[in-house]
Structure 1
Amino acid sequence: MRFKYDASSKWLIETFAPELLRIAGVGPIVSVKPLPGELVQSRQLPDGLVEVTFSDRSEPVLHLIEVNTYSYASTASELLDDVLLTYLNRRVVPEVIAITLHDRGNVRVAPEIRVRSPSGYTRLEAGWRVVNLWELNAVDFLPLTDPGLAPWVTLMKIDGPPEPVLQQCRDVIETLPAPGRRANLLGVTQILAGLRFDEGMLEKLFRVEGKMIESPVLEKWFRQREIAAYHRAILEGLEVRFGTVPEDVSAAVRVVTDEMSVGEIRKASYVCTSLDDFRARLAQSLPRQTSANAN
């Protein structure tokens, strides 16, 4: 998941991967083991790698799960990158599941991709399962008995008023015995449901004893959303002052994620005299960003 729902999707894959695989039609499953997602490069890492043990296979099967907020034409190329990185790291071609959370426009994730060398002698081809949540029927998973399904059901096709289904999601999450996991799942469900439902309604529904949910995952998402808003403001300000912002500048701004460094480049965007001047000031902040991440 490339944007602001990244932390939520990664946590869900790590914690409730069997439920996600069930939605994708994978089975029959005996067990699922999440694996570290850090591969041989730091960019565009897959959201989740899991080893799935099936009842009819003796060896576990590696699955790569990628969750995107919306469908993008570039998703197929990004999935190919993930497949290649995984193969380089593990010498295994993974089963790939591409999940899209919400419908927007006419773009759909392509189920496969083929690329050729200029002379045509060398070819790469990859394919994957594509799951569009809004095309699935919530009723197929109701009544809800599995808390891990709740976040995804909120984005499925719901016949009739959504409140009863959302209440089922809330109720089944409340059955989790661990308070921390329960709070995190409530928070993540509220985040994902916010793609299609009014935030005011969701806030009332997912409050805990009249209070907002205290969830590390939810808090991290709010921080990410705030940082993303600063990124947009910085880039829009530069565009107003200097015209179209080059891709390298835009990408470098979005790499900066700690609050102190973002504050510095925000100030730099106000006082810089040109895009080249901003580039130089931005380069000075990147070492501090690296140091902050290391700590």
Structure 2
Amino acid sequence: MSSKRAASRRSRLTTVLVLSAAALLAVAGPAHATAPMDPLPADIPDYQAALDLVKSADVRATVCRFLSVPVPQGDAVGAPQAIPDKADPCEGLPAFTVKDPLALNEITPGFAAGTSLPIATEAVKLSYLVSALNAPVNGRNATVMLAPTQGGGWHLAAVREGDSDATFAGRATVGTLVFSEPQIRGWYQLKLTTVEPLNDQARQGLDGQSAVSLSTYQKLVKARYADKLPGSVYDTTGMSSGYGVAKKSAAAPSSTPVLVGGSGVALALAGGAFALLRRRRRDSVA
């Protein structure tokens, strides 16, 4: 009788996992408006505000400032570089537009710590919105990153070199969810309770496996981060920034982006200068 009760409990747990995943994935997929008449995505709060922001003159000007300075190389990486003093930051640059925002989902600290259930609604959360350019500008692409503002809405958080974040985020389909493990720049696709890698970093994160269950993936990330979360000895002794997404500011800046932690070339405006950080490893799309 004991073995029958255990089997029954396992069966109920499996059902809960599948139903929880299905509930989240039912509204997931390519979360953006593809045409003016399309309905706004239900899984992104205040999406119209985000859409208006990425199409605004302020964001366009910030992208132009970013693109007007060459990507630093060698010893120049991380050094402040002066913003060209131009009344029109976009002067001399080819015309471009910023695409509609996409959801950038990341694993949650609770999931990484092993304190959350291995279900989609607790494993993954919406952290940012990302918008790439419609075409390269002088051979470069860029991604606009929006962060949620306390009390509602979105604000410009950063402009990053390249379009890999938006490329991976755009691979979500109806019935699947794409998410990032930001510490290793790994990108994954979640199909119900199955996790599949989308780039080389993710494949390494799954120990070379082509797919694992969400509960198995949780064990892997727990082994990587459980002792490195914010507040841990590893974090508080300054050995690392710990696991976690960048802190959101309480109020939206007018047109001033801040540097978002992590690898990549990103723009940070401060006192008339900005710093560019170069990505140390390249993302590879499967």
Q: TM-score per shorter chain, which class? A: under 0.3
Structure with greater proportional strand content: 2
Give the alignment's TM-score, normalised by structure 2: 0.22
Structure with greater proportional helix content: 1
> Which structure ranks higher in relative contact order (CA pairs < 8 Å, sequence separation ≥ 6)?
2
Give the alignment's TM-score, normalised by structure 1: 0.21
